[in-house]
Amino acid sequence: MSAVIEKNKMWTSFRSDKEYPQNWKENTETEYWVPIPQKFEDIILQNVPYINVKYNGDEIVDVEILPKPEPEPEPKPYLLTYEDKILLHNLTYGD
């Protein structure tokens, strides 16, 4: 597998028709894809976008994993009160 990372936007992609270390220079004005070395591939792909990639030119030399934000807690379900149940019964079946 050949994985690449976009240097400016931190997008990742896989291509089976391109082999590492070939750079993908598709639209060099807005996008610049850099190959991900095998030793960093799992770290980057499992943690993107929560990473800080250090480059030496077009070569990835280090990857720092940043802390991931805490997930928002699930909202508590609304429990119907007795009055809610009476209102729903009356709306459904009439008085």
d(CA 37, CA 54): 13
Report if residue 77 sits inside a domain.
no
Report if residue 57 sits inside a domain.
yes
Report if residue 95 sits inside a domain.
no
d(CA 63, CA 41): 10
Say which DSSP state 63 is in: E
For the record, the structure tokens of 46 come out as 């499992």
Query: Which pLDDT belongs to residue 95?
Result: 66
Report if residue 74 sits inside a domain.
no
Report if residue 92 sits inside a domain.
no
| Mean of pLDDT over the chain | 82
Global pTM reads 0.60
Asked whether 41 and 24 are in contact (CB, 8 A), the reply is no
Which of 36, 47, 39, 40 minimizes the C-alpha distance to 13?
A: 36
pLDDT in tens, 35-79: 888 899 889 989 988 999 999 888 899 999 999 999 899 999 999
d(CA 74, CA 94): 35
- Residue-number span of the structural domain to which 55 is assigned: 2-65
Report if residue 86 sits inside a domain.
no
Query: Which pLDDT belongs to residue 11?
Result: 81
Report if residue 48 sits inside a domain.
yes
Query: Which pLDDT belongs to residue 35?
Result: 83
* Number of other residues whose CB lies within 10 A of the CB of residue 46: 10
Report if residue 33 sits inside a domain.
yes
- Tally of structural domains, the chain: 1
9's CB contacts (< 8 A; 6+ apart) are 31
